[in-house]
Amino acid sequence: MTFSWKIPPWERFEDCKYVTVTLTDAGAGQFECISEAVRGDDAIEALADLVMSPRSPLGFISSHPALIGVVVRRGIDVAWLAKPPVEVGRNDRGKWQISIAEADLPDVSVFDVTEIAGLVSRLRSQYGQNG
């Protein structure tokens, strides 16, 4: 597996262009979120920066059984960093579903646990455990 970037986003010295919101199950039907700014030229690169950075809450995906998903938004928005307009609930089959209150935003991507684990696997196979 190869990636199209010349320098991986987590090794770049550039301004952050995206906000990520990591969502985890807090129990009792509640969720928690951690928002941070990340680097990258698209949503996949932003997610790669999140999961491969040493500060990442997702550095070891297998040790994060409470992970619900990650929302990636292009552009740095202080309101999103402080209180992202993300809604999480369970569908009729009990599976977590993520929605964005500002549904008309064009540059928002939602990644579920399967997509995140797949990307982490691809990144680790190419770059090793710590990038």
Q: Is residue 7 part of a domain?
A: no
Q: Is residue 5 part of a domain?
A: no
Q: 19 vs 68, 71, 87, 93, 104, CA distance in Å?
A: 17, 8, 16, 30, 17
Determine the structural domain holding residue 82 and report its residue range: 13-127
Q: Is residue 19 part of a domain?
A: yes
Q: Is residue 1 part of a domain?
A: no
Q: Is residue 41 part of a domain?
A: yes
Q: Is residue 60 part of a domain?
A: yes
Structural domain count of the chain: 1
Q: Is residue 94 part of a domain?
A: yes
Residue by residue, pLDDT tens for the chain (131 residues) are: 468 899 999 999 999 999 999 999 988 888 899 899 999 999 999 999 999 887 776 655 545 778 999 999 999 988 888 999 998 988 888 888 998 887 667 789 999 988 998 898 898 888 886 55
Dihedral sign, Cα of residue 41, residue 102, residue 19, residue 120: negative
Query: Which pTM was predicted?
Result: 0.88
